[in-house]
Amino acid sequence: MAPSPHTRDAGVRRIGRLTRWALAGAVGLSTVVSFVVAKAQTGAVTSRGSGDTSRAGTIDSQASVVIGPSTDTGDALQPAPAAPARQGGGGGARAATSGGS
């Protein structure tokens, strides 16, 4: 038996609603995935033992690692304020010797 126009219109409306929900879901899922990826790339999601995610201290920008402000003192190895000065002979005046140990 052919469906009545009323039944067909109701089916079309139902399909429309489902399509809108599916689109909204896809957009929402995409947003969540993008957020997680962005956070992971900047190291802002910190893995904790119980599997929860939370923020603690300053997070290293390239690792799943939390590093506190006191331990991360800059973005480069820091040079000495001045180059070492040439010293003359006289080993007895040396304070110490640096070499492998």
The residues that touch other proteins, with contacts defined as CB under 8 A, are: 46-49, 54, 56-57, 60, 62-68, 70-73, 75-91, 93-101
Residue 5 or 84 having the CB closest to other proteins: 84
CA distance 61 to 43: 5
Residue 5 or 89 having the CB closest to other proteins: 89
∠ CA(48), CA(53), CA(58), 5° rounding? 80
For residue 77, give the amino acid letter.
L
Residue 30 or 54 having the CB closest to other proteins: 54
Q: Could you tell me the smallest distance in angstroms from the CB atom of residue 30 to other proteins?
A: 27
Beta bridge pairs of residue 58: 67
Q: Could you tell me the smallest distance in angstroms from the CB atom of residue 87 to other proteins?
A: 4
Residue 67 CB neighbours (<10 A): 14
